[in-house]
Amino acid sequence: MSERLDLQGRHIVLGLTGGIACYKSAELVRLLVKAGASVQVVMTEAAEAFITPVTLQALSGRSVYTSQWDAREPNVMAHINLSRQADAVLIAPASADFIAKLAQGRADELLSLLCLARPAERCGLLVAPAMNREMWAHPATQRNVAQIAADGAHILGPGCGDQACGETGDGRMLEPAELLADVVAFFQPRLLAGRRVLITAGPTFEPIDPVRGITNHSSGKMGFALARAAAEAGAQVTLVAGPVHLPTPRGAVERIDVMTASQMHDAVLPRAAAHDVFIATAAVADWRPASLSEHKIKKEGKKVAPTFELTENPDILAAVAALPQPPYCVGFAAESENLLAHARAKLQRKRLPLIVGNLGPATFGRDDNALLLVDAQGHAVLPADGSTADKLTLARSLVAEIARRLEHARA
C-alpha cells in the first residue's frame, strides 16, 4: 500500500529545545517529511548540545535556523518570516524552561520569538513536553502548562515510562509516531466537536469449551479507523472492542474490551443513550453454544464428531435502535453476495437511518476497502469513483457523511 500523505502541502516549523529527547526529533522529522510535510527546523542553543543541526538538515532537506540574527534573512527577521510561512509550530521536545518562557511571553532567542510572533489565528502552536518526572509534577510547571493551554497552545503528552535519569514516571516526550498522529489530527476538521460516539469493532468469540469457540475473520481495522477518525473530528469516543490485537487510537477514546456477543451487548446497552451516534462495525456472532463444556471436549476413542445446540445471541444494533431516544444508528452489513439487497433488507428490518455495506471476504484483515452507503432514499459508494481506499481514508469520509446527516437532522 502506498504511503499516507496526510500532511501533503503542510509546512511545519519544528522547534527543538534542550533535552535528551532531541534524539527522537530526528525520527520525527523523517516521519513528518514522509507524510508529505515540508519541515523547517529551528533549534535553541541548548538543543545543539544534544543533536547537531547537520543531522536535522540532512533529514529535512532544509538549512536549520539557530539564531535570531541569521544573515540569510535580508530583513534580519527570521522570527517573522518563518512564522508567516508555517501552518503550525511544533515544539518537540519542549523543556520546562521553554514552557516557562511561553507562559511568560519571554522572547530572548529565535524560537521563543517566532512562537510569540506567529499569527495565532492560522498557525497553531503544538507543544510536546519532555522533562524529568519531578520537574513535570512541580506546581510551577503545571501552572505554566495550564497557562499556555489557556492561551491556545495544544499540549501533546507527555508520556509515561523510563527516563534518561534512571527514574520512571510522567514527563517523557511522546514517541515520534504518536506525535505524527497528533499533528495529523490537529489538521482534521472538527466536524463532530461536542458529540459522543459509541463504536463496536472486531469479532466476538463464543466459547464451546475452555479452548475452542465460534468466531470470524474480522480484524477490527475498520472500527478502529472509525474511532480514530471520530476522535480526530472532535468527538468523545467509546470503543467497545472484541478480541483484536490493535492499539487504542490516540485522542479522546475510551476502550472497553469484551469477548462474547453477550458481553458486548452488556457494555453497549447501558451506554448507548448517552451518545449521539452509535456505529456498529463489529462482526457479532449470531449464535452461541447453548451450554459451555466445563472441560476440553476430547476426541480419543470417538468415531463421531461431537454436536452441540446453538442459541441466538442478542441483537445489539436492533436493541439500541429500539431505545426510546436512540442515538443516530449506523449499521454495518458484511456480506458475501447480493450486497445491496441484503444491506437494504437489514436497513428496513432494524429501522435504521444508514447501513454501510461491504463484502466481508474481500476486506477482512485487509487495509483497504470499498463501502456501500444505503439509506431510505437510495445508495452511494465510497470512494465515489468505485475504487478502493485505505480504511482510515474511508473512515474519515464516513465520519464526514455522518456529521453532515446530523447537521441536516438538527436544521
CATH code of 259's domain: 3.40.50.10300
pLDDT over 50 at 1, yes or no: no
- Are 223 and 199 contacting, i.e. CB atoms less than 8 angstroms apart? yes
60 pLDDT band, cuts 50/70/90, is very high
What mean pLDDT do residues 256-264 have?
97
Same domain for 347 and 402?
yes
Q: Is residue 42 part of a domain?
A: yes
The last residue of a domain, from among 153, 186, 219:
186
pLDDT over 60 at 361, yes or no: no
Q: Tell me which residue range forms the domain holding 229.
A: 196-290+308-410
The last residue of a domain, from among 133, 159, 186:
186
The CATH number of the domain holding residue 67 is: 3.40.50.1950
404 pLDDT band, cuts 50/70/90, is very high
- Tell me the per-residue pLDDT of 75-104, one tens digit each, with 9 for 90 and over: 878 888 899 999 999 999 999 999 999 999
- Active-site amino acid positions: 165
Distances (CA, A) of 323 to 146, 196, 275, 349: 41, 17, 12, 15
Distance CA 170, CA 136 (A): 7
pLDDT over 70 at 2, yes or no: no
362 pLDDT band, cuts 50/70/90, is low
Query: Which residues are CB-neighbours of 338 under 8 A, at least 6 positions away?
Result: none
Same domain for 75 and 182?
yes
What mean pLDDT do residues 301-329 have?
89
The last residue of a domain, from among 141, 168, 186:
186
What mean pLDDT do residues 63-85 have?
87
